[in-house]
Amino acid sequence: MNHVSNRSSNSPNVDERHLMFDDLEKLGRILVETGDIAHSFVQGVDDMDVTCRDFSAFDPSRPLQGQGRGTLDALRAAKEEILPLLAASIGPRYLGFVTGGTTPAALAGDWLASAIDQNATGPEGSVNAAVEEQVINWLCDLGGVPSDRYDGVLTTGATVSNLLGLVAARQWCGEQVGVNVDADGSGVLPDLEVFAASPHASMIKDLSITGIGRNNFTKVATKPGSEETDIADLKAKISASDARAKIVIASAGTVNATDFDDLEAIADLCAAYGAWLHVDAAFGFFAALDDRRADFTKGIARADSITSDGHKWLNVPYDCGIFLTRHIAVLETCCRAFAPYLDTKADGNSYINRGVENSRRFRALPLWMTMVAYGRDGVASVIRANCDQAADLAAWVRTHERLELFSEPKLNVTMFAARGSDEDNRALLARINATGKVFMTPTVYGGRFGFRAAFSNWRTCDDDLVIIKQAIETAL
């Protein structure tokens, strides 16, 4: 079929292929309009409600039309129907979860990644694999682990990175006792035991996905009033274990109190008892960039595997997870993909053999762009500022007659509540978030319901802290 001859047709029978070719001719205008809409959204988040609470204007059951409308009409529809109902999660007062924004450089990199649309599987015919290799080396430098000993892969997020940690650990454990889990299945691995004190929800999910089981781990005690691993209890439990295959899951920045395990002590125990040490450092990995907190991650370079995220404190767009390991060959054993069309003699890393995905977005490019644009010092300045902001909010809560601080923030998260019942605090949190000025997520800490404010956005500044405090005061 000769598509060109029909590109200008206005017939209602023109199919979607012809609309696509029409749009290709209009691409310059489409990109300009897309840029204008995106620019308005990014610049307007300071004045938007931080979250949307009423989606009734959007009907998810509306059927798909047979005749397309073209990209310009679709853009206008998105601007009218979707953008007004979104959260301003890229903005400076979205304090839920641990959500970064998007730096201008990372945004540009992400748009380029979409435009060039590389399937970043490996080195065949493209520099994408070399870019990912460089980015991983830079990430090692930012986190204070030696790039000549660690290698890894970019993933969709910490959930998949934690999954890779479990998969590689299980294979390695099998190799230590002479069995091959990759080839023969997990049933050949005798008496595997997993030890964890404060595993993240994603790790519990991964225990299920791997078939180990959500409940099938040994709960290690935490220090009193802390989420930090009690080393004495871990030593007692790992030394008493008869399992020949052992995995220890440690934390570098727990989700609530941002507690850091004593990684040196845990690494010593893992070495003594032949255990794989996995460190979940989803955002705490980058604490090394704050000189005042660099000691928090001491010992992390002894981990067998490390999880972190780019879409948290590095402020690159979703999705971007980070997995690092000292045992890259073990990971590649577990994740390698076989097919004649995948065979390549090109030099470089085949990232298809290091993760869950066969088809992979070029997520290294936004990271590369933001690190080149702002450097180590730029990333470090965000880390320091967010930690200071958490401390500032904590100081205000500490002196407030109606509020109570749950724990002193060690990093970038402040936990607190009003003096009163859990039921009263649930209602108060709803009122705070309903102001539209700030969004915080709930938490339970020390058996009490409270609020969790996580500072992880590069745009948050002192003026935002004033607005956040006013919103809390108004809701009290």
| Residue of 16 and 32 predicted with greater confidence | 32
The secondary structure of the chain in percent helix, strand, coil, rounded to multiples of 5, reads 45, 15, 40
Q: So where are the chain's domains?
A: 34-103+377-476, 118-361
- Please give the average per-residue pLDDT across 391-407, as a whole number: 97
Count other Cβ atoms within 10 Å, centred on residue 443: 21
- Please give the average per-residue pLDDT across 358-380, as a whole number: 97
Residues near 172 by beta carbon (within 8 Å), at least 6 away in sequence? 276, 304, 327, 330
CA–CA distance, 198 with 218 (Å, rounded to integer) = 11
CA–CA distance, 443 with 350 (Å, rounded to integer) = 40
Residue 244 scores a pLDDT above 50: yes
Residue 111: its H or E element: helix 104-116
**What's the pLDDT at 1?**
38
118-361 CATH: 3.40.640.10
Triad 97, 103, 108: Cα angle to 5°: 125
Residue 308: pLDDT band with limits 50, 70, 90: very high
Top CATH class of 34-103+377-476 equals: alpha beta
Phi, psi of 110 (to 5 degrees): -70, -40
CA–CA distance, 26 with 34 (Å, rounded to integer) = 12
Residue 254 scores a pLDDT above 80: yes
Three-state secondary structure call for residue 271:
helix
* 413-418, strands of its sheet edge to edge: 403-407, 413-418, 448-454, 441-445
Stated pTM of the model? 0.94
Which tokens go with 266? Answer: 């845990």
pLDDT tens for each residue of 279-296? 999 999 999 999 999 999
Tell me which amino acid residue 87 is.
A
What rounded mean pLDDT belongs to the chain? 95
* Largest distance between two CA atoms of the chain: 78
Residue 17 scores a pLDDT above 80: no
Residue 258: its H or E element: none
Indicate if 118-361 has the same CATH topology as 34-103+377-476. no
Percent of the chain with pLDDT over 90: 94
